[in-house]
Structure 1
Amino acid sequence: MSIQKPLQALTKRATPAQSLQHRPRIWQPQRCLATVSNGNFVPPVTQDNTSSKGPTAMVFMNMGGPATTDEVGGFLSRLFADADLIPLGPLQNYLGPLISRRRTPKIKKQYANIGGGSPIRKWSEYQASEMCKILDKTNPETAPHKPYVAFRYANPLTEDMYAQLLEDGFGKGRGGRAVAFTQYPQYSCSTTGSSLNELWKLRQRLESPSRNNSLDAAQAEGSIKWSVIDRWPTHPGLVEAFAENINATLQTYPEEIRDSVVILYSAHSLPMSVVNRGDPYPAEVAATVWAVQQRLGFRNPYRLCWQSQVGPSAWLGAQTSDTVNNFVKKGQKDLLLVPIAFTSDHIETLFEIDQEVIHEANELGADGRTRRAESLNGSPTFISALASLAGAHLRNNEVCSRQMGLRCPGCKSERCLEQKRFFMGQGEQANNAVTL
């Protein structure tokens, strides 16, 4: 299948969905070269004579997952230490390590049951690499495009990615452009926001002269120029990729009942304390669901539910497991689960949905009629969508979406505000940026 054809066709029929995209802020980048002490220009990495604005680092940001069971402890420690993701209040430094230690043996068994580790790194590296191959052809002016992966809680960690950027010739007097490309299509302060906070912290520590006294003037001037793809919940290519996988699974049901299958879109839940603060994630997930249903022609009844609640505090519901069980008990066994907020398989799909939710449904009498749509993983349509989104971002000199400058209405985090001011201020229209 041609990876261009689905997107070309979708572009013609998805104008309403495209109108839902957040208008980007525009960046007029300077030549990504820095003057060193002898007055000569030094190109970063491997700029060639076909690229006028390259090279470009394309950094995929995600939560990550332990690649082996030995990495589970460290992964959980970092996860429960992050108040952006799991707010535990003033006792975070005490409760976080305690919870992670208690959960490590159980979570190790879960990863052992899905093959000994999460495949998210494999898929992220594959998706980033394949996207960059396309970008080298479609966006030669910013080539070569070099893929990087930055995980928040697992290897490769954001700090390791940043060190690799510097080693590869970006920054420290050599300039270069990097795009922080969130792999959470729907923005949340707990996910994309946390990843950007970490990226900003490292940038300040490594490349800001106010924080790093060892930098000379040339190195400070030639720091990495960052832009951000911070959300893309209704991008036509994303919608098409989800629709393809849903249709493929619907085909496994008998034709006479196919339109009666209830589609259950499942997304990672959030603590209600985060939701009530005004986090945009629930609305953006709902926007993705609506766009996919529109693409499918609203043939099937559907619901949005939420999974992966942790701890005793209130989380956004209804929970996926409860929703499935209630449907099966009422006689609705034909259910199709769709992981709508994930761009590849990991523990939430391979264990929580496949081995817990669906297994329990079968024990209640679903008889194999409750199924899951394949995750996006290596979908050519999805990878083409990533390239389309990133290519437009580069061609249009975008900094980030205009929406990114607004904190949650109830947010009081100064770190979040400073992070937004930094990324919003990377463009020529920095004085017009709204950061509140």
Structure 2
Amino acid sequence: MSVSDPISSESPAVEARFSEQEVADIDRLIPSADRPVNAPESHPEVVRGKIGVVIVNLGTPDATDYRSIRRYLSEFLSDKRVVDYPRWLWQPLLQLVILSRRPFISGKAYASIWDKQRDESPLLTFTRDQAEKLGAVLKESLGDRVEVDFCMRYGNPSTDSVLRRLNEQGCERILFFPLYPQYGSPTTATANDQAFRSLMKMKWQPALRTVPAYFADPGYQAALAATVTEAYASAESRPEVLVASYHGVPRRFLEGGDPYHCQCHKTSRLLRERLGFADNEIITTFQSKFGPETWVGPATVDKVAELARTGKKHIAVISPAFASDCVETLEEIEMEIREAFIEAGGETFTYVPCLNARDDHIHALAAIARRELAGWI
């Protein structure tokens, strides 16, 4: 028996030193699931020792009516990470001008993709499915100690409510997993900001880790490539160009050091290499421009029209920045951008769905989560 291991279970002599009563006394001192060590019998029950994993998506309105859309857009567009104009300038313009008419336009877009049977947006459905499947995979490999949930940066279920619930369920450590493959300050950073703001309200904070950008993860890239291969196999004819369309950001974000633009281009390059495509078979574009300033480009809607005018009859579009299909993919790409391509002379438009709750995507997310949980489990 070594000095560093004074009560090694391998030593019969040591085991003999403890009577049954002494063993019972030692067991009594081990923290239980309902009462802290040395607490009186009247102490309230405390569930401890669990680990939470929270996947985070952008958000969704609760309904498609004017008030629901306005409430959602107000929260979203008031975020300084999204629109960083001075508050004294931006808020009057937002509340008095933009939000007086924008909810009608956005409401129509959401209504066109709304799941009327469940009365929810596809983003909410897909994110819930992802959380349920991820929970099943992680519990299979890590056990019941892990609790998996999901939240939204804007709208419901809110980040604050989910982190508070996990804390009350005894999660002393939480892995916060923004579903943004590429890091961006208006996406990853604001999601993390909200998580830490939630911790500021807690008397007993759990330890919290955040998952970094994962666009280069082999599992994620393999799942992304598989969606393209499947879409090409089922297409009427092979698309001449694959357009990788990412959500845009103002150009000054890139100039200010935000790595999002560069990571988008790297995502496309890695995808091209995995697929074995030639350089001219995949191009990178950006969508969803908002406001008058210069944004990174080229704009997806303009580029697909240009491709049609220059003789490309069949293209495919994929959205590698979105982990789940949402209004930006199901309405903007499937409807608006498709229409721009067809009106410019294109003939066949193939949309490659987001990874959503595909098994290969879920297993990729599970592998990332297990890696980031190292040392906790």
- TM-score range, shorter-chain basis? 0.7 to 0.9
Residue 109 in 1 paired to residue 108 in 2?
A: yes
Give, in angstroms, the shift of residue 239 of structure 1.
Answer: 0.6
Q: Which has the higher contact order (CA 8 A, sep 6+)?
A: 1
Give, in angstroms, the shift of residue 152 of structure 1.
Answer: 1.3
1:129 equivalent in structure 2: 132
1:335 equivalent in structure 2: 315
1:55, 1:167 → 2: CA distance?
A: 10
Q: Identity across aligned pairs (percent)?
A: 28
2:40, 2:261 → 1: CA distance?
A: 52
1:269 equivalent in structure 2: 248
| Deviating more after overlay: 113-122 vs 262-271 | 113-122
1:88 equivalent in structure 2: 85
Tell me if structure 2 keeps the 8 A contact 1:44–1:55.
Answer: no
1:192 equivalent in structure 2: 188
Q: What does 1:32-181 correspond to in 2, within 5 Å?
A: 38=39, 45=47, 54-70=49-65, 71-90=68-87, 91-98=89-96, 99-115=98-114, 117-140=120-143, 143-170=144-171, 176-181=172-177
Give, in angstroms, the shift of residue 396 of structure 1.
Answer: 4.5
2:242, 2:373 → 1: CA distance?
A: 36
Unaligned runs of 5+ in 2: 1-30
1:261, 1:396 → 2: CA distance?
A: 47
| Deviating more after overlay: 291-300 vs 273-282 | 291-300
- 1:86 maps to a residue whose letter is V
In structure 2, relative to structure 1, the CA distance for the partners of 1:297 and 1:67 (3 Å cut) is: farther
In structure 2, relative to structure 1, the CA distance for the partners of 1:363 and 1:162 (3 Å cut) is: same
Tell me if structure 1 keeps the 8 A contact 2:53–2:174.
Answer: yes
1:374 equivalent in structure 2: 353
TM-score (normalised: structure 2): 0.82
Cα deviation digits, residues 136-183 of structure 1 (max 9, x gap): 12223xx4322222211111111222332244344xxxxx11110110
Tell me if structure 2 keeps the 8 A contact 1:139–1:395.
Answer: no
Residue 247 in 1 paired to residue 229 in 2?
A: yes
Give, in angstroms, the shift of residue 93 of structure 1.
Answer: 2.5
Give, in angstroms, the shift of residue 274 of structure 1.
Answer: 1.7
1:206 equivalent in structure 2: 202
In structure 2, relative to structure 1, the CA distance for the partners of 1:185 and 1:43 (3 Å cut) is: farther
2:132, 2:46 → 1: CA distance?
A: 20
SS in 2 for 1:38: coil
* CA RMSD between the two structures: 2.5
Give, in angstroms, the shift of residue 36 of structure 1.
Answer: 7.0
Give, in angstroms, the shift of residue 312 of structure 1.
Answer: 1.1
SS in 2 for 1:64: strand
2:164, 2:328 → 1: CA distance?
A: 30
2:329 equivalent in structure 1: 349
Give, in angstroms, the shift of residue 397 of structure 1.
Answer: 4.5
2:92, 2:308 → 1: CA distance?
A: 41
Cα deviation digits, residues 272-324 of structure 1 (max 9, x gap): 22222110111122222122111101246111000001111111111000000
Give, in angstroms, the shift of residue 38 of structure 1.
Answer: 2.1
Give, in angstroms, the shift of residue 195 of structure 1.
Answer: 1.1
SS in 1 for 2:154: coil
1:339, 1:83 → 2: CA distance?
A: 25
Across the two proteins, how many residue pairs are aligned to each other? 336
In structure 2, relative to structure 1, the CA distance for the partners of 1:191 and 1:241 (3 Å cut) is: same
Unaligned runs of 5+ in 1: 1-30, 48-53, 171-175, 208-219, 399-436
- 2:71 maps to a residue whose letter is G
2:188, 2:114 → 1: CA distance?
A: 28
SS in 2 for 1:233: coil
Tell me if structure 1 keeps the 8 A contact 2:314–2:349.
Answer: yes
**Equivalent of 1:310 in 269, 285, 290:** 290
Give, in angstroms, the shift of residue 37 of structure 1.
Answer: 7.5
Tell me if structure 1 keeps the 8 A contact 2:53–2:148.
Answer: yes
Give, in angstroms, the shift of residue 230 of structure 1.
Answer: 2.3
1:100, 1:376 → 2: CA distance?
A: 32
Tell me if structure 1 keeps the 8 A contact 2:133–2:357.
Answer: no
1:86, 1:239 → 2: CA distance?
A: 31
SS in 2 for 1:187: coil
Give, in angstroms, the shift of residue 395 of structure 1.
Answer: 3.0
1:242, 1:375 → 2: CA distance?
A: 8
Tell me if structure 2 keeps the 8 A contact 1:67–1:121.
Answer: no
Q: What does 1:266-305 correspond to in 2, within 5 Å?
A: 266-299=245-278, 301-305=281-285
Cα deviation digits, residues 91-119 of structure 1 (max 9, x gap): 23323323233210010011111135521
Structure index of larger Rg = 2
Residue 363 in 1 paired to residue 343 in 2?
A: yes
- 2:336 maps to a residue whose letter is E
Tell me if structure 2 keeps the 8 A contact 1:184–1:191.
Answer: yes
SS in 2 for 1:226: strand
